[in-house]
Amino acid sequence: MNQTPQDMKSLQQDVRALRDEVRVKVHLAGMDIKDEWKKLEPQLDRAASSAAIVTGEMLADLKKRLTELRQRLQTH
């Protein structure tokens, strides 16, 4: 999947926004959600610090996982 620079920038912005939203909600969540967040957060930090080598597929996967975690948070 070839992503344009604009697509990559949009994905990065989406991931950052989801990360921030989920981070706040995780603070109030149960331990199962917190454990999942502890696994996901380092990957987000690595992706943010090495954006030049992060692929669109990696960002799309992180966005999907964050969206799923956000949905789980809404049901708690």
- Using one digit for the tens of pLDDT, what is the confidence trace for 21-38? 998 888 888 888 888 889
pTM of the full structure: 0.65
pLDDT for the residue numbered 75: 80
Instruction: State how far Cα 12 lies from the chain centre.
Output: 9
Note the pLDDT tens digit of each residue in 42-52. 888 877 766 65
d(CA 16, CA 55): 15
pLDDT band of residue 67 (cuts 50, 70, 90) is very high
CB 22 within 8 A of CB 66: yes
12 three-class SS: helix
